[in-house]
Structure 1
């Protein structure tokens, strides 16, 4: 799965089809009509409150798609090692690489699409972290 270009409507439509949820149930849950739902399927983005409702209905965290994008394509700057913590907004200590992200990166290396060095440079993944991922793969084989 590529996280660079996110078309949230397509992901939602795919999940609806996988879960085989009827349009009537969707319209009821979202308190809208079929035409609006179809427009949502064609939307590249949508309001977060609406996305939260879709996430609940479809039992899938669509926000992780965006988190994965941030981890892969907008890693934190190395210049600010001690970011200011705010009491008004949550602070996340480090990036958490989901299994999907690990598999995505490992697949790119194993296919020859990217080298270890390219992955480290482009995604700012520490060399030791990448090494641990491959150690785990080798130990499970």
Structure 2
């Protein structure tokens, strides 16, 4: 992990750090499983950001202003959050067209979150399909 990204994680609460490090590992696992190539890991807007050539970047965030939740942030001009809302509105919380909000006291299933991350990391391959091919 690049030092600046590691420093950003250290600013998260212990609970948020645990959850977001799991999300980070999930991103790397998806990239390997789907042969998406190397994962770029850097800071964007002070947040750990992950991207692959075939996808749209995913940023991870936590704020002490909302200590009970974390966010998975997506590029707001994609159809990602719109699609997630269409298929997972019964089990995910959203912020506008840019984020999935993970409430730490009521986390969604790992399968659902993994599917959303897969769609983000393969976005350029599926963006032309209705509901991103879901």
- What is the TM-score with the length of structure 1 in the denominator? 0.26
Q: Higher helix proportion, which one?
A: 1
- What is the TM-score with the length of structure 2 in the denominator? 0.27
Q: Higher strand proportion, which one?
A: 2
